[in-house]
Amino acid sequence: MTKALASDLYDSDFYAWTQEQAAHLRARAHNSIDWDNAAEELESLGDSQRSEIESRLGVLLMHLLKWRYQPDQRCGSWKGTIVEQRNRIRRRIIKSPSLKHYPAEMLGEEYELARVQAAAETGFSESAFPISCPFRIEDVLDPDFYPDSE
């Protein structure tokens, strides 16, 4: 398949394009690879790993805030969400160890969104929650950490 046809397939049937490109890579058919789109997709895969950590960290932070500031509302589903997010972040980092420090890098940014979401879900004003993240990343990711009420 020519480069132009591969590029057309990329735009018209992404799944078919991925299967074709994988077959070309396995066959070491260098001249048949849609190099620009393949490079873009590889970068996108890496970005999706980071995006998953960001999303899970945000959900985790929101639930830790709710846990701390609504102790009378604590329930099994909150705890389950906290456990799940921690486990999925941990598993992502095990599969991609170069992302080990990424949760710490994103803590402040994800906390800002978690704070807004926690306010929306609890009915509290945003000012009820600290402006800066009250948790250390080590605690956020610690399977035994559940914040006490203030």
pLDDT digits (tens, 9 = 90+) for 90-147: 999 999 999 999 999 999 999 999 999 999 999 999 999 999 999 999 999 999 999 9
**Is residue 19 domain-shared with residue 56, that is, in the same domain?**
no
Write b or e for each residue in 8-18: b if 16 or more Cβ atoms lie within 10 A of its Cβ, otherwise e: ebbeeeeeebe
Q: Residue 15 has what pLDDT? A: 85
pTM of the model: 0.83
Q: Residue 111 has what pLDDT? A: 98
Range of the domain at 118: 48-141
**Is residue 130 domain-shared with residue 87, that is, in the same domain?**
yes
- Collect all residues with Cβ–Cβ distance below 8 Å to 141 and sequence separation of at least 6: 86, 89, 90, 103
Domain count, the chain: 2
Domain contains 18:
yes
**Is residue 28 domain-shared with residue 61, that is, in the same domain?**
no
**Is residue 60 domain-shared with residue 91, that is, in the same domain?**
yes
Domain contains 83:
yes
Q: Residue 10 has what pLDDT? A: 84
